[in-house]
């Protein structure tokens, strides 16, 4: 059966068809849809774990227990899970374990651009790389087989362009029959207890495994030589292979489906058959270095860029510059003189509950140590209310460090509900235990919004839709030893301000839960009601423009006195959150109840 699937959907299908029973992940672009596709499939267990390390430990546990397992994360997620990644390499497993890792070249939605093939090599874990959805599907099963054959976790490395592009996939549509009886847990302490004595015995085993894998790579069918014109030989992998094929239809290619370890013999043979050998790969010169280590002369990053994504245009231009293609190969491009165009960066949605909270922080002149989530967008003008953002969970720890260093003013920490569970919790415990006067705001929108509204321990639902415990931040903070805790409606600017002032006056750890569900949630959508500006009262003072809501726009009408354009509210965008109405000192923006009263009077 043929289906048109994204790489992520194809991975989910591949996992299901190859009998993966347990899968765990933390949502992260571009990897999120893998678990969302997998979770509703029959006879599987899938979960959102609070962070990637937990997810990997869960998958390892399932594989120790003899079930095929999958852990999924974006590239930076593997930084969080790195500790587990390394021990899992040491212990090996009882059943197949595939770790799906999605790198994000060009950082479409990430804070850095790391190439995680280096992690695979670092931890001596084989790395497979698909170049389209079909291979994304097929390589999951292949990875699990390799995992079992060589007693190792296997990394399946995707990139954004593989995850989020779609092509045809031939599916089996069937799954091997499930285990009928539950086997006993196999105890093997020398293998699974990594105390120094055991670990010392394991390390040579791991090195030997890499040697065997390298031999296996020589005949691995996804490492494929396509011999055509011998003047140019291209080694490539992943989506870069597709760009290379498009630009050099006649060149000889060695396409590597396994990029760690590399097949030395195959590479030597390929090199000997072509006149000029180049590598086309995204991000790091990973294959280039591996080939050079074999003593083979090769070019790569001297021709193609190390930063960002490739595409056929980049590959073609670079190839022309390096004399690999004639200038006539250039595709004609017309770049008209456009003059300055207004940019359209991502922004907080109209009606976003974070807008109100962070507006108040800005109004009070506070420095905010922020975190990864929708609210990160509040760093931009006109809101300009967020001042640091490093990685998931960094906000509270950074604010604590600032407080301990001692500065004139008070910084606050702000992070989302899901991020709090991810890595904010231990950081808050640190604030409580080591007593800094950090005020932490949990921007609690009742979901993991930025990745597309996933559940977490605060929502009371699991990924597979079961009802579950709903953790209360307030009780948690109390248990950690934080006495000063406020819960406020994030749309209520006065309440947010009062809570913040109370916390800042006190010299102790404090927590504010600024709660209001994300404006895009189905329940919130039902409440949408566009507000209106009373043009007679508005004098174009511009206060309401400073909150950075895209629904507040300048109208064509100028105020007679000030000469400034009056405000208008776009009814297609406005949700009626009333943040602008609270900001307007002239009461020119009608509140919801006023609009309803007006309507009733008209009838």
Partner 1 sequence: MSERSTEQTPINFLLAGVGGQGTILASDILAAVGLSIGHDVKKSEVHGMAQRGGSVTSQVRWADKVYSPLIGLGEADFFLAFEKLEALRHIEMLRPGGTVLVNDYAIPPLSVSSGNDDYPDNARIERILSAVTTRYYWVPAIALAESLGNARVNNVVLLGALSHFLPHVPLAVWLESVRERVPQRFADLNERAFLAGREAMEKDR
Interface contacts to partner 1, rule CB under 8 A: 4, 29-30, 108-109, 132, 161, 164-168, 239, 242-243, 245-246, 311-313, 316, 331-350, 374, 376-377, 382, 449-450, 452, 520, 542, 545, 548, 550, 552-554, 565, 572-573
From the list 251, 291, 389, 580, which residue makes contact with ligand SF4 (rule: CB under 6 A)? 580
The DSSP bridge pattern shows strands 510-515 and 439-444 to be parallel
Q: Which one, 377 or 590, has the nearer CB to partner 1?
A: 377
Query: Any contact of residue 551 with ligand SF4 (CB under 6 A)?
Result: yes
Mark residues 473-512: x for contact with ligand SF4 by CB under 6 A, - for none. ----------------------------------------
Q: Which one, 376 or 459, has the nearer CB to partner 1?
A: 376
Q: Tokens standing for 37? A: 């596709």
- Tell me how far the alpha carbon of residue 129 is from its chain's centroid: 19
- As to burial, measured by CB atoms within 10 angstroms (0-12 exposed, 13-18 middle, 19+ buried), residue 461 is middle
From the list 206, 531, 548, 590, which residue makes contact with ligand SF4 (rule: CB under 6 A)? 531
CB 348 within 8 Å of CB 378: yes
Shortest reach from residue 499's CB to ligand SF4, in Å: 20
From the list partner 1, ligand SF4, none, pick the one residue 35 interacts with, judged by a Cβ distance below 5 to 8 Å according to partner type.
none
Query: Any contact of residue 449 with ligand SF4 (CB under 6 A)?
Result: yes
Q: Which one, 283 or 358, has the nearer CB to ligand SF4?
A: 358
Q: Which one, 127 or 377, has the nearer CB to ligand SF4?
A: 377
From the list partner 1, ligand SF4, none, pick the one residue 538 interacts with, judged by a Cβ distance below 5 to 8 Å according to partner type.
ligand SF4
Shortest reach from residue 139's CB to partner 1, in Å: 17
Angstrom distance (rounded) from CA 320 to CA 229: 18
Q: Which one, 147 or 160, has the nearer CB to partner 1?
A: 160
Shortest reach from residue 292's CB to ligand SF4, in Å: 45
Give residues with Cβ within 8 angstroms of 270, minimum separation 6. Answer: 225, 233, 235, 252, 254, 277
Q: Which one, 165 or 464, has the nearer CB to partner 1?
A: 165
From the list 55, 512, 544, 590, which residue makes contact with ligand SF4 (rule: CB under 6 A)? 544
Q: At what angle do helices 75-91 and 196-219 cross, to 10 degrees?
A: 110
Shortest reach from residue 311's CB to partner 1, in Å: 4
Applying CB under 6 A, the span of 76-84, 382-390, 442-450, 502-510 interacting with ligand SF4 comes to 442-450
Site size toward ligand SF4 (CB under 6 A) is 40
Shortest reach from residue 273's CB to partner 1, in Å: 23
Query: Any contact of residue 518 with ligand SF4 (CB under 6 A)?
Result: yes
Angstrom distance (rounded) from CA 497 to CA 508: 18
CB 463 within 8 Å of CB 45: no
From the list 39, 71, 520, 590, which residue makes contact with ligand SF4 (rule: CB under 6 A)? 520
Shortest reach from residue 107's CB to partner 1, in Å: 10
Q: Which of 12, 312, 286, 224 is nearest to 136 (CA)?
A: 12
Query: Any contact of residue 538 with ligand SF4 (CB under 6 A)?
Result: yes
Q: Which one, 202 or 355, has the nearer CB to ligand SF4?
A: 355
3-state class (DSSP) for residue 514? strand
From the list ligand SF4, partner 1, none, pick the one residue 354 interacts with, judged by a Cβ distance below 5 to 8 Å according to partner type.
ligand SF4
CB 450 within 8 Å of CB 437: no
12 to 25, 147, 159: CA distances (angstroms): 12, 18, 15
Task: Indicate the helix (H) or strand (E) that contains 137.
Answer: helix 133-150
From the list ligand SF4, partner 1, none, pick the one residue 554 interacts with, judged by a Cβ distance below 5 to 8 Å according to partner type.
partner 1
Q: What one-character-per-residue DSSP string does 217-285 give?
A: HHH-TTSEEE--EEEEEEEEEHHHHHHHHHH-TTEEEEEESEEES--HHHHHHHHHH-SEEEEE-SSS-
Strands (E), 359-427: 367-369, 411-416
Q: Which one, 310 or 514, has the nearer CB to partner 1?
A: 310
Residues 338-357 that bind ligand SF4 (CB under 6 A): 348-352, 354
Query: Any contact of residue 415 with ligand SF4 (CB under 6 A)?
Result: no
End-to-end CA separation in angstroms for the chain: 59
Residues linked to residue 155 through DSSP beta bridges, in sequence order:
99, 127
Give residues with Cβ within 8 angstroms of 549, minimum separation 6. Answer: 348, 350, 351, 355, 574, 579, 580
Angstrom distance (rounded) from CA 580 to CA 597: 19
Q: Which one, 415 or 431, has the nearer CB to partner 1?
A: 415
From the list partner 1, ligand SF4, none, pick the one residue 584 interacts with, judged by a Cβ distance below 5 to 8 Å according to partner type.
ligand SF4
From the list 540, 563, 591, 594, which residue makes contact with ligand SF4 (rule: CB under 6 A)? 540
Q: Which one, 174 or 341, has the nearer CB to partner 1?
A: 341
Query: Any contact of residue 577 with ligand SF4 (CB under 6 A)?
Result: yes
Applying CB under 6 A, the span of 77-85, 95-103, 361-369, 544-552 interacting with ligand SF4 comes to 544-552
Burial 491-518 (b: 16+ CB within 10 A, else e): bbbebbbebbeebbeeeebbbbbbbbbb
Q: How many CB atoms lie within 10 A of CB 187?
A: 8
Q: HSE (CB half, 13 Å, CA atoms) of 57?
A: 10
Q: Which one, 155 or 441, has the nearer CB to ligand SF4?
A: 441
Beginning with the edge strand found earlier in the chain, give each strand of the sheet holding 258-260 in spatial order: 45-48, 22-25, 69-74, 97-103, 154-159, 127-128, 258-260
The site for ligand SF4 (CB under 6 A) is made up of 348-352, 354, 374, 445, 449-450, 518-520, 531, 533, 538-544, 547, 549, 551-552, 566-567, 569, 574-580, 584, 586, 588-589
């Amino acid at each position: 059966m043929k289906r048109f699937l994204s790489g992520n959907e194809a991975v989910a299908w591949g996992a299901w068809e190859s009998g993966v029973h347990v899968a765990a992940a933390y949502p992260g672009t571009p990897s999120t849809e893998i678990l969302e596709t997998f979770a509703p499939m029959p006879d599987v267990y899938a979960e959102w774990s609070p962070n990637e390390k937990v997810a990997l430990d869960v998958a390892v546990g399932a594989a120790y227990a003899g079930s095929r397992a999958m852990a999924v994360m974006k590239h930076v997620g593997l930084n969080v899970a790195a500790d587990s990644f390394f021990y899992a390499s040491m212990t090996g497993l009882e059943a197949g374990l595939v770790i799906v890792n999605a790198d994000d070249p060009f950082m479409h939605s990430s804070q850095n651009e790391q190439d995680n093939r280096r992690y695979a090599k670092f931890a001596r874990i084989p790395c497979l790389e698909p170049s389209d959805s079909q291979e994304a599907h097929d390589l999951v099963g292949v990875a699990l087989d390799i995992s079992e054959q060589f007693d190792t976790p296997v990394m399946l490395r995707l990139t954004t362009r593989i995850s989020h592009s779609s092509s045809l996939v031939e599916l089996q549509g069937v799954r091997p029959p499930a285990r009928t009886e539950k086997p006993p847990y196999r105890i093997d302490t020398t293998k699974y207890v990594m105390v120094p004595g055991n670990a010392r015995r394991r390390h040579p085993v791991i090195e030997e495994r890499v040697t065997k894998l390298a031999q296996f790579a020589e005949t691995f069918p996804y490492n494929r030589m396509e011999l055509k014109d011998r003047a140019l030989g291209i080694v490539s992998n992943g989506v870069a292979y597709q760009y290379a094929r498009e630009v050099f239809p006649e060149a000889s290619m060695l396409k590597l489906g396994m990029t760690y370890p590399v097949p030395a013999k195959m590479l030597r043979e390929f090199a000997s058959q072509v006149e000029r050998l180049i590598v086309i790969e995204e991000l790091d010169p990973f294959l280039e270095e591996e080939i050079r280590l074999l003593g083979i002369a090769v070019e790569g990053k001297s021709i193609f860029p190390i930063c960002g994504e490739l595409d056929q245009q980049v590959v073609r231009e670079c190839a022309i510059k390096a004399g690999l293609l004639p200038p006539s190969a250039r595709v004609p491009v017309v770049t008209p003189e456009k003059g300055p165009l207004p940019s359209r960066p991502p922004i907080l949605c109209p009606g976003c509950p974070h807008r109100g909270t962070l507006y108040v922080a800005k109004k009070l002149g506070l420095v905010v140590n922020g975190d990864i989530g929708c609210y990160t967008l509040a760093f931009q003008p006109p809101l300009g209310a967020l001042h640091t953002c490093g990685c998931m969970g960094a906000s509270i720890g950074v604010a604590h460090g600032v407080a301990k260093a001692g500065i004139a003013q008070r910084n606050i920490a702000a992070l989302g509900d899901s991020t709090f569970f991810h890595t904010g919790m231990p950081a808050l415990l640190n604030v409580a235990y080591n007593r800094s006067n950090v005020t932490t705001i949990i921007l609690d929108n009742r979901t993991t919004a930025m990745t597309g509204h996933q559940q977490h321990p605060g929502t009371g639902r699991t990924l597979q839709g079961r009802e579950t415990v709903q953790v209360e931040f307030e009780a948690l903070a109390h248990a950690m030893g934080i006495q000063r805790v406020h819960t406020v409606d994030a749309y209520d600017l006065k309440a947010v301000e009062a809570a913040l002032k109370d916390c800042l006056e006190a010299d102790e750890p404090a927590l504010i839960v600024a709660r209001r569900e994300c404006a895009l949630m189905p329940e919130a959508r039902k409440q949408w009601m566009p507000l209106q500006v009373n043009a007679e009262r508005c004098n174009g003072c511009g206060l309401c423009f400073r909150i950075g809501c895209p629904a507040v726009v300048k109208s064509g009408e100028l105020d007679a006195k000030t000469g400034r354009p009056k405000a208008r509210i776009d009814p297609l965008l406005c949700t009626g959150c009333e943040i602008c109405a609270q900001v307007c000192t002239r009461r020119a923006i009608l509140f919801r109840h006023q609009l309803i009263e007006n309507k009733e009077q008209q009838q």
